[in-house]
Amino acid sequence: MIPKGKLFIIGGHEERGDQEEKGDPEESIKVVKRVKGYEPFEILGALINKTKGSDAFIEIITSASSVPEEIAAGYLKAYQKENYANIGFFHMGKLSKAEEEYYIDRINRAHAVFFTGGDQVRLVSEIGGTEVLKAIAKRYFEDENFILAGTSAGAMSLSNIIIENGLIGEVLFKDDLQIGKGLELIQNVIVDTHFIQRGRFARLAQAVIQNPSCLGIGLSENTSLFITGENEAECKGSGMVIIIDGSELGGNNGATANDNTAIVAENLKVHILADGCKYFLKDKKFVLA
């Protein structure tokens, strides 16, 4: 079933127009920003309902985070600075029937649902299989005006296969990468975030080698893909998106390597997108900005 709604995945640390957390410097590569003239709130601003008189909300789900109050305060401040007040937050745990019905009602009245960053495994365990997730999926697949969005772990969790954990090593080994089941709202892609800043090319390449039916999508920070119909994906933001395609993979040992054998492969295709470029995920077609 082709979704009628839009999917918006973000690589993390989207600019909010204020000083924000920069992440752990011990795990980050120093990246020099070169894009000029970029509007700080451009990515988050895409979630705002610009229909005059509308009272539809952006519902922000903080379940991936271990500090949900802090996360919520940051987003609330950013949207209030833009004079937009239609923001709701919830942090799912074990819900009663009444609480579940309350959250589903909120989902049904929202024009956008946004998953924050944190831990993708925590997020999937909290919301996977719930009636709330079913309500989100129904909106995404049936409502052409609905936007489903996620940043960092929130973006990673949305596909059917997710990277749960992965080491950054000098060579690839099978047990360096843990793959799991995601929320299954988009199929046949594996999303990784903070992609340039944390040097994650190798782990996404390994995920694709071991799952060649999936496209790898590596999102730089403050960079996004806006996906229509699970196919047309447009890059927006100040950084780059890396697409890794294993559909024409040549010789490789991704399926046969044991824990002590280095994983090797030939003929991985790599595409580099920047602001305005498009990539058609199903057609595997690149379109220059």
Residue 51 backbone phi and psi in degrees, to 5: -70, 120
Q: pLDDT 10s digit of each residue in the chain, 289 long?
A: 899 999 999 999 998 875 444 444 444 566 766 655 567 789 999 999 888 777 889 999 999 999 999 999 999 999 999 999 999 999 987 788 898 999 999 999 999 999 999 999 999 999 999 999 999 999 999 999 999 999 999 999 999 999 999 988 889 999 999 999 999 999 999 999 999 999 999 999 999 999 999 999 999 999 999 999 999 999 999 999 999 999 999 999 999 999 889 999 999 999 999 999 999 999 999 999 8
Angle at alpha carbon of residue 157, lines to 113 and 142, rounded to 5°: 45
Q: What is the dihedral of CA 186, 187, 188, 191, to 10 degrees?
A: 30
How far, in Å, CA of 196 to CA of 254, rounded? 24
Would you kindly state where each structural domain of the chain is located, as residue ranges?
6-18+34-281
The token pair at 187 is: 């199929």
pTM: 0.93
Note whether 250 and 167 are within 8 A (CB): no
3-class secondary structure, 211: coil
Q: What is the dihedral of CA 100, 84, 239, 276, to 10 degrees?
A: 100
Note whether 45 and 87 are within 8 A (CB): no
Residue type, 58: I
The token pair at 96 is: 């009663």
Task: Write the Ramachandran bin of 118: left for phi over 0, alpha for psi from -120 to 50, otherwise beta.
Answer: left
Whether domain 6-18+34-281 has CATH 3.40.50.880: the reply is: yes
Q: Which residues pair with 178 in a beta bridge?
A: 165
Q: Which residues pair with 242 in a beta bridge?
A: 218, 272
